[in-house]
Amino acid sequence: MNLTLNWMTLRIRDLEASLSFYHGILGLPIQRRYENRGKKIAMLGGAGQPPIELIEGSDVRVQPGSGISIGFEVDDLDRAMKELGSRGIVITRGPIQANPHLRFFYVTDPDGFEVQLAEHT
């Protein structure tokens, strides 16, 4: 079996708050927005990347320490930390030097999902 990641779904409380974070702050392009069975949905991501699907209105709540996280690669970790800090985003863990070629830190999205930003050198 040959598998390719198609998309990731996050069930969220408020689509506009999540779009402000993922699109407005992190800069992910909005591929499309639509409604299906009364649920507001948005697909975000750049070309060649599996999109993140945001579905508003779920009763699912993320518990701290649930192990769910989304990771993004950045060119310059220090610049990313400074930019997010200037936008009021709190770094919840890190920066962490996992090995000589990998550094990363975590922030939390509006629904409590951990978002990891990593730099490989």
pLDDT at 98: 87
Residue 95 has pLDDT above 90, yes or no: yes
What are the structural domain ranges in the chain? 1-60, 68-121
pLDDT band at 59 (very low <50, low <70, confident <90, very high): low
pLDDT band at 30 (very low <50, low <70, confident <90, very high): very high
pTM for the whole thing? 0.84
DSSP 8-state symbol, 25: I
Strand partners, 32: 43
Distance CA 19, CA 26 (A): 10
* Fold observed for domain 68-121: 2,3-Dihydroxybiphenyl 1,2-Dioxygenase; domain 1 (3.10.180)
- DSSP for 76-99, written as a single string: -HHHHHHHHHHTTPPP-EEEEEEE
Distance CA 76, CA 49 (A): 20
Write down the CATH number for the domain with range 1-60.
3.10.180.10
Mean pLDDT of 48-70: 78
